[in-house]
Amino acid sequence: MTKWSIGKIKEIKYWTNNLFSIILKAKVNNFFAGQFTKLALKINNKKIQRAYSYINSPENKNYEFYISNINKGNLTPYLYKLKINDKIMIAKNALGNFTINNVKSCKNLWMLSTGTGIGPYLSILQDNICFRKFKQIILVHSIRYIEDFNYLNLVKKIKQKYYNQLIIKIILTKKININNSILYGYIPNLIKNGTLEKDIGIKIHTNNSHVMLCGNPNMIKQTQKFLEQYRNFSKNLINKKGNITYEQYW
Ligand SMILES: Cc1cc2nc3c(=O)[nH]c(=O)nc-3n(C[C@H](O)[C@H](O)[C@H](O)COP(=O)(O)OP(=O)(O)OC[C@H]3O[C@@H](n4cnc5c(N)ncnc54)[C@H](O)[C@@H]3O)c2cc1C
């Protein structure tokens, strides 16, 4: 049974019409970077709860969540309308194995994300441990428009600290801006046709890489299928180490 804590909204950031972040204060137990918790509201006398990844580092007690406001969704339109000081239920204990504790140390850690699926990586990247465990971290973020990269400043700040150790690659699904450093298309296709690896100059190879996947289930399934079929990758399980770790958002 989930144990709940009552939190208070401290800040809301409205990035675009459908992307926002909430920061709340609550008494919850410690979590590992990459884990998620549950947020809930009473709507028409019914408790509606959903899973959300912590995006703050585990030491930071301002609990932050990056959320996509789903049209006609059961919870997100209500989260979007919350105001400062409103109450919100948050599960006391974090959940999930989408953490680097479960990943064997290797040279290259690939963090592939779509949309709000960048969330757990923001927590992992702010936790610093990952920079001791992996020589090179490659954050690949797929969004529709460049304006949707709402945590670009935060990621750039982390890059300033770790410089060459962090590579940031933006992939836009809508071709609008002409910018040589941006790729266009879908993550699985750009891996299949070699564009992503060529652009970054690093091969996704079982000898030296672990691939994390977060967000859209189609991106995850297609990327995983390709890496398993053509590159000999396997799922990372608690009792059987592999080199693909993923978190599907729906
Ligand atoms: C482990 C885990 C962690 C998650 N972390 C996050 C997070 O940090 N941020 C976040 O925005 N969502 C996250 N989600 C998704 C979240 O739990 C909800 O499903 C989502 O917010 C929709 O809730 P809703 O009640 O408004 O929509 P519902 O009425 O439940 O409708 C669900 C439908 O919305 C669509 N959908 C769900 N999530 C997304 C999304 N992120 N982007 C686009 N379409 C989506 C799918 O079509 C899905 O079938 C996570 C899910 C899981 C399983």
Tell me the pTM. Answer: 0.97
Give the model's pLDDT for residue 178.
65
**3-state class of 12 per DSSP?**
strand
- Residues 38-87 have pLDDT tens digits of 999 999 999 999 999 999 999 999 999 999 999 999 999 999 999 999 99
User: In whole angstroms, how large is the CA radius of gyration of the chain?
Assistant: 18
Kind and range of the H or E run holding 41? strand 36-43
Given ligand 1 and candidates 15, 41, 46, 52, which is best to mutate, with the most ligand atoms within 8 Å of its CB?
A: 52
CATH number (domain holding residue 214): 3.40.50.80
Residue finishing a domain among 59, 91, 123: 91
- Cβ of 80 below 6 Å from ligand 1: no
- Residue 44 sits in which domain range? 4-91
149 CB-near residues (< 8 Å, 6+ apart): 141, 143, 170
Same domain, 85 and 110: no
C-beta pairs of 130-134 under 8 Å, 24+ apart in sequence: 130/33, 130/100, 131/162, 131/165, 131/166, 133/100, 133/103, 133/105, 133/109, 134/100, 134/105, 134/106, 134/107, 134/108, 134/109, 134/210
Same domain, 73 and 114: no
Are 60 and 158 part of one and the same domain? no
Q: Is 74 in the pocket of ligand 1 (CB under 6 A)?
A: yes
Look-up: residue for tokens 């109450």?
A: 87
Q: Which of 47, 64, 91 corresponds to the end of one domain?
A: 91
Listed as ranges, residues in the chain with pLDDT below 50 are none
Residue 161 CA to residue 157 CA, distance in Å, equals 7
Compute, in angstroms, the gap from residue 250 CA to the centroid of ligand 1.
6
Q: Which atom of ligand 1 is nearest to the CA of 79?
A: 26
Q: How many A from CA of 70 to the centre of ligand 1?
A: 8
- Total number of domains in the chain: 2
Residue-level pLDDT at 174: 82
State residue 175's pLDDT score: 75
Verify whether ligand 1 is closer than 6 Å to residue 246 (CB atom).
no
Ligand 1 contact via 119 beta carbon (within 6 Å): yes
Task: Among 37, 50, 55, 88, name the best residue to mutate to test ligand 1's pocket (greatest count of ligand atoms within 8 A of Cβ).
Answer: 50
Per-residue confidence (pLDDT) for residue 177, from 0 to 100: 62
Do 46 and 139 have their domain in common?
no
Pocket of ligand 1 contains residue 179 by CB under 6 Å: no
End residue of a domain, out of 71, 91, 111: 91
